[in-house]
């Protein structure tokens, strides 16, 4: 059985895992542990716990539990002392308080949610993200970087404070994998953070696994403003230590109303400028976009009401493309 490992966090990783979980693969995910926004940030500050947000999404994506549990893990309180908190985040934080270590937290949550795969935090140590822009400005904490929409200059470097060591299980998983899938997701708040942990880049350079990079659909203000495909690939390759073997690019039509919504945020469709002169790997161009608008008005039971992005990859389409590569 092929061993497939997804690296990242947030909604993009959720979409990939949701699509692949029913294909009979040895599926695992290495999850970013640097989230500091919203409910997760409040829990980190007030309870001193590890960030549960990205972990919750990965567990939920791989869940084969009854719909009630999945609804509960997405439920967000909208008033009172718990206003803004997500039930799943509270559940994982409470587990951390009553468990002897974080490995037990993962084991217990995986049992409750009947996960069909292995969920691996990239580190068990507490740390925060920081970025330095070409303008010289430094912004610290993932939540602040994620919402720094008005920044126009590019990110010069990203780093951790303090520097932390990788979870040994994450390193082993990378070295043992046949394929590693990166993205989609916010480049500097979901993907690159997992590559900054001591031991991860070294393992990725050493592994014999084939690397698959899923290009984002849209640019992200404050992180990848005006980025084209080559810009994404250049940045991810520098943190990865090698160039991905495959890049998946969407060519499906995006509804005009969604494009207009992003334009108001100064975000645009990522232009595919990859060709044989600037990339020696294989570019796979396919319709992998979900044309539904993802927001709280849709009433989708699997959409968090505070999700900012309204456009996603289609999990079934994307899984179909990935499985063709893998098999």
Q: What is the pLDDT of residues 176-186, one digit of tens each?
A: 999 999 999 99
Q: What is the pLDDT of residue 299?
A: 36
Q: What is the pLDDT of residue 310?
A: 81
Q: What is the pLDDT of residue 305?
A: 43
Contacts of residue 240, Cβ cutoff 8 Å, sequence gap at least 6: 182, 195, 201, 204, 211
Task: Note down the domain range covering 9.
Answer: 3-326
The sign one gets for the Cα dihedral 319, 185, 179, 164 is negative
Q: What is the pLDDT of residue 292?
A: 79
State how many domains the chain has. Answer: 1
Can you read off the two tokens belonging to residue 186? 């916010």
Residues of the chain with pLDDT under 70: 293-309
Nearest to 212 by CA among 169, 186, 238, 245: 245
pLDDT in tens, 262-302: 999 899 999 999 999 999 999 999 999 998 766 533 333 44
Residues facing residue 31 across a β-bridge: 8, 121
Nearest to 224 by CA among 143, 307, 148: 148
224 to 64, 231, 232, 243: CA distances (angstroms): 35, 8, 8, 19
The single-letter DSSP state of residue 269 is: B
36 Rama class: left (phi>0) / alpha (psi -120 to 50) / beta:
alpha
For residue 194, how far is the Cα from the chain centroid?
A: 9
What SS3 state is found at 256?
Answer: helix
For the beta sheet containing 138-140, the strands, ordered from the edge strand earlier in sequence to the opposite edge, are 138-140, 128-133, 155-161
pTM listed for this prediction: 0.93
Cα angle: 96, vertex 101, 104; to 5 degrees: 80
Nearest to 213 by CA among 194, 240, 175, 193: 240
β-pairing, 118-121 vs 282-286, is unpaired
Q: Is residue 37 within 8 Å of 143, Cβ to Cβ?
A: yes
- How far apart are the C-alpha atoms of 268 and 265, rounded to whole Å? 9
Q: What is the pLDDT of residue 309?
A: 64
Q: What is the pLDDT of residue 4?
A: 98
Q: For residue 195, count CB atoms less than 10 angstroms from its CB and return exposed for 0-12, middle for 13-18, buried for 19 or more.
A: buried
Q: What sections of 114-266 are H helices per DSSP?
A: 142-146, 168-176, 192-195, 200-206, 229-240, 256-264
CATH of the domain at 124: 3.40.50.10680
């Amino acid at each position: 059985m092929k061993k497939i490992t997804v690296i990242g966090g947030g909604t993009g990783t959720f979409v990939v895992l949701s699509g692949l979980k029913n294909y009979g693969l040895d599926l695992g995910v290495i999850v970013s542990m640097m989230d500091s926004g919203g409910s997760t940030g409040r829990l980190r500050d007030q309870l001193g716990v590890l960030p549960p947000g990205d972990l919750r999404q990965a567990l939920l994506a791989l869940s084969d539990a009854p719909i009630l549990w999945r609804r509960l893990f997405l439920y967000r309180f909208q008033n009172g002392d718990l206003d803004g908190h997500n039930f799943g985040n509270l559940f994982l934080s409470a587990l951390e308080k009553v468990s002897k270590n974080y490995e037990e937290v993962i084991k217990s949550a995986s049992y409750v949610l009947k996960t069909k795969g292995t969920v691996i935090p990239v580190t068990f140590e507490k740390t925060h993200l920081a970025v330095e822009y070409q303008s010289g400005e430094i912004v610290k904490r993932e939540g602040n970087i994620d919402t720094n929409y008005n920044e126009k200059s590019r990110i010069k470097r990203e780093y951790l404070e303090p520097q932390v060591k990788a979870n040994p299980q994450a390193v082993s998983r990378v070295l043992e994998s046949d394929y590693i899938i990166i993205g989609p997701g916010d480049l500097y708040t979901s993907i690159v953070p997992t590559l900054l942990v001591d031991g991860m880049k070294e393992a990725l350079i050493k592994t014999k696994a084939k690397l698959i990079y899923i290009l984002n659909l849209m640019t992200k203000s404050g992180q990848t403003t005006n980025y084209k495909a080559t810009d994404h690939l250049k940045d991810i390759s520098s943190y990865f230590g090698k160039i991905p073997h495959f890049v998946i690019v969407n060519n499906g039509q995006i509804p005009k109303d969604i494009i207009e919504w992003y334009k108001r945020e100064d975000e645009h469709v990522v232009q595919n400028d990859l060709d044989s002169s600037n990339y020696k790997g294989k570019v796979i161009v396919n319709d992998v976009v979900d044309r539904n608008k993802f927001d709280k008005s849709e009433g989708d039971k699997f959409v968090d009401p505070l999700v900012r992005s309204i456009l996603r990859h289609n999990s079934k389409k994307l899984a179909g493309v990935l499985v063709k590569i893998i098999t």
